[in-house]
A and B are shown apart, each in its own frame.
Chain A
Amino acid sequence: MRMSSATREAIEGYLYIAPWLVGFAVFAVGPMLASIYLSLTFYKIITPPDFVGLDNYIRMFQDDLFWKSLWNTVYYAAVFVPVSIAGSLCCALLLNQRILGRTIFRAIYFLPSITPIVATAFLWLWIFQPNVGLANYLLDLIGIEGPRWLDDIQWSKPSLIVISLWGAVGGGSMLIFLAGLQGIPIELYESAEIDGAGNQAKFWRITIPLLSPSMFFNLVLGLIGAMQMFTLAFVATSGAGQTRPAGGPAYSTLFYVLNLYNHAFDYWEMGYASALAWFFFLILVILTYWQLRLSRSWVYYEFDQGERW
């Protein structure tokens, strides 16, 4: 008996998405379920998991380092995300003007974002070298005694923010803003001018609302990315010539994922680390949901947006 063409089509469709289905089951659903179970156990790899109920979660909320790492992460994200978005927007506005050598400038701005994070970390470790580094030399030139940057509890987080900004401001989000700017119809500005709108009004009433979808995109991705801060902090704080644990000095750069990593792969506390992972997942889901809810009140979509999924 011959199959109907609809059945045939369905079977073919399933076959094409089969690699993803398998990957989804093996690398997403399976691990998610397994980590729920693990988070309820005491498990140090050498002996089988031992069910302990909610102990890991209770321990988590009583752990000072957990709160410290959460605070560090929130601090980092709360400063980095808004500044990087504002910075990217400013750069896009600047590079959208007709200036000499615009293409070259665009490439220079973009260069840091294509530098591998590990290389970026080493490059800045050298620039932030407290005694002979470029940063403190330049500050010295204008008569300021520079801080000890990554070695100073007060300055370690701001230092990492500066490094992240260097790598982010001129990168993808700037390009997305540039594309957004170029998509704004000129007629809007022209008719606003006829109505007597100044540059200020044009910026706040036309540019910003029409860029709000790009801004929302950059905000959602930026926040999720910032919460996951790991590689830069790990490399920049564990390697300044000495072998010292990542996250220092005095846990001032111990970010959430760094803390998770330490528990999982340094102390091999897989149960506790799974509880940390699950709580982290919960935070990200809430943050994203909250942003989606908020976005309704400030993101402006044009009516004819046919291609939205």
Chain B
Amino acid sequence: MVEPTLSAPQVPAARFGGVRLRQATRMIPTFLVVLVLAAAFGLPFLWAVLTSLKVPREIFIFPPTWLPEAPQWSNYIEVFRQAPLALFFWNSLKVTVLTGIGQILSASLVAYGFARFRFPGRNILFLVMLSTLMLPPQITIIPTFLLFKWLGWLDELRSLYIPPWFGGGAFAIFLFRQFFLTIPREFDEAAKIDGANSLWIFFRVLTPLSVPVFVTMGIFSFLGSWNDFFGPLIFLNTTEKFTLALGLTYFQRVVSLGGQATEHLMMAASIIMTLPCLLVFVLLQRYWIQGIVMSGIKG
């Protein structure tokens, strides 16, 4: 354990070189620990990237080499030949986009109802809604499976993207509601006096003021359905319908190079699946972090 020196960041940097130097030296052990941890978090990733650029011959040698002899970027094309990865990618994209739209639209409207309208039983319903946060999908999965079987939704992507249109989940509703509550009601009232109806107020007054929470929820929704494995595993059957998460396990079963090592292709496929998440993180980091912090503090 590193000794926590919490007051350090707030101390204004001293003007005298000596003090500053002493402070800097004191940070060296901390910095080393930070560095070691960064290696623990980053190394597995680096290792996967390096592996993905090797040829089969380089995989099973001990001691392993770090750098590939010649980076095989073609591995990233080969994976698409080994399995219908492009199709899986497309399926995932479809599910992710349709889930995202449905979840955000319905959760924000439901949250609007809870935040801005008075109706009998509102508080109880809100508590009931929150309590479903504690309801893990495993409890309801069997009857849901039977329901989808009856509806003829099994082995169809709609089994994944239609349910989010019904409320979008307690977490999303909660997040939107908390945000809407921070917007002064005077804005609504002003629009109402001008003769606007509630839907107009939602789309023209509240939504423009709530862009951050919409972006945040978009990120969470994207991650949720992009990474979801349980749903596709249970509802999908045919290879052509697989999403990327499920398709990756399929890929791992079928990938074959005539007895040679296939780990480099496995790593390439895993990285391909990770890239969209990475992209979203790089582009929207600020909203992402705000969202997590918001859910943590207000929860």
Residues of A within 8 A of B (CB): 6, 9-17, 19-24, 26-28, 30-32, 34-35, 38, 90-91, 93-100, 105, 107-112, 114-119, 122-124, 126-127, 129, 131-132, 134, 137, 140, 166, 169-170, 172-173, 175-176, 179-181, 183-184, 186, 189-190, 193, 199-200, 202-203, 206-207, 213-214, 217-218, 221, 224, 228, 230-231, 234-235, 238-239, 241, 243, 257, 260-261, 264-265, 270, 273-274, 277-278, 280-281, 284-285, 288, 307, 309
Q: State in angstroms the CA–CA spacing of A112 and B234 once bound together.
A: 26
Contacts known (A38-B142, A116-B274); A109 close to B293, Cβ less than 8 A: no
Interface positions, chain B 96-119, Cβ under 8 Å from A, are: 106, 109-110, 112-114, 116-119
Residue of A nearest to B227 (CB): A116
B134 interface residue (CB < 8 Å to A): yes
* Residue B277 at the chain A interface, CB threshold 8 Å: yes
| Chain A interface mostly | helix
| Smallest beta-carbon distance A125→chain B, Å | 8
CA distance A291 to B47 in the complex (A): 40
The reply to whether the CB of B184 lies closer than 8 angstroms to some CB of chain A is no
- Report yes or no: B296 in contact with A19, Cβ–Cβ below 8 A: no
Q: Of A127, A140, A214, which is within 8 A of B296 by CB?
A: A214
Query: By the criterion CB–CB under 8 Å, are A91 and B37 in contact?
Result: yes
Interface of B is mostly: helix
Q: B interface vs A, CB < 8 Å? A: 1-10, 27, 30-31, 33-34, 37-38, 40-45, 47-48, 51, 59-64, 106, 109-110, 112-114, 116-120, 122, 125, 128-130, 132, 134-136, 138-147, 163, 165-168, 173, 198, 223, 226-227, 229-230, 233-234, 245, 248-249, 252-253, 263, 266-267, 269-271, 273-274, 277-278, 281, 285, 289, 292-293, 296-299
Contacts of B274 in A (CB 8 A): 114-116, 119
- Contact present for B267 and A27 (CB under 8 Å): no
- A202 CB contact (under 8 Å) in B7, B60, B109, B198: B7
Contacts of A231 in B (CB 8 A): 229-230
Q: Which of B51, B118, B299 neighbours the largest number of chain A CB atoms within 10 Å of its CB?
A: B299
Q: Given A6-B118, A127-B44, A224-B136, A27 and B33 touching (CB < 8 A)?
A: no
The residue from A23, A124, A183, A257 contacting B163, defined by CB atoms under 8 A apart: A23
Q: Are A118 and B229 in contact (CB under 8 A)?
A: yes
Across the two chains, which residue of chain A brings its CB closest to B298?
Answer: A307
CB distance from A299 to the nearest CB of B (A): 13
Query: With A189-B6, A278-B139 as given contacts, are A175 and B293 in contact (CB-CB < 8 Å)?
Result: yes
- The residue from B60, B285, B298 contacting A132, defined by CB atoms under 8 A apart: B60
Q: How far is the CB of B42 from chain A (nearest CB, A)?
A: 5
28 A-B pairs (CB sep. < 8 Å): A9-B117, A10-B118, A13-B113, A13-B114, A19-B106, A19-B165, A24-B166, A24-B167, A27-B140, A30-B147, A34-B143, A96-B6, A99-B30, A107-B285, A108-B41, A108-B42, A109-B38, A117-B229, A123-B48, A132-B62, A137-B64, A166-B44, A199-B3, A261-B234, A265-B145, A270-B146, A277-B139, A284-B134
Chain B, residue nearest A307 (CB): B298
> Does A239 lie within 8 Å of B106, measured CB to CB?
no
A108 CB to nearest chain B CB (Å)? 5
* Known A118-B248, A132-B59: A281·B139 in contact at CB below 8 Å: yes
Whether B134 pairs with A270 at a CB distance below 8 angstroms is no
Among A94, A129, A183, A288, the residue within 8 A (CB) of B30 is A94
Residues in A whose Cβ lies below 8 Å from that of B173: 20
With A90-B1, A123-B267, A239-B249 as contacts: A20 and B10 at CB distance below 8 Å: no
- A134 to chain B: closest residue by CB: B47
Q: Which of B140, B198, B263 contacts A35 (CB 8 A)?
A: B140
Give the residues in chain A near B4, CB-CB below 8 Å: 93, 199, 202-203, 207
> Is A24 touching B140 in the complex (CB atoms < 8 A)?
no
- For A26, give the chain B residue with the smallest CB separation: B166
B7 CB contacts on chain A under 8 angstroms: 186, 189-190, 193, 202
Given contacts A31-B143, A207-B4, contact A217 B252 (CB under 8 A): no
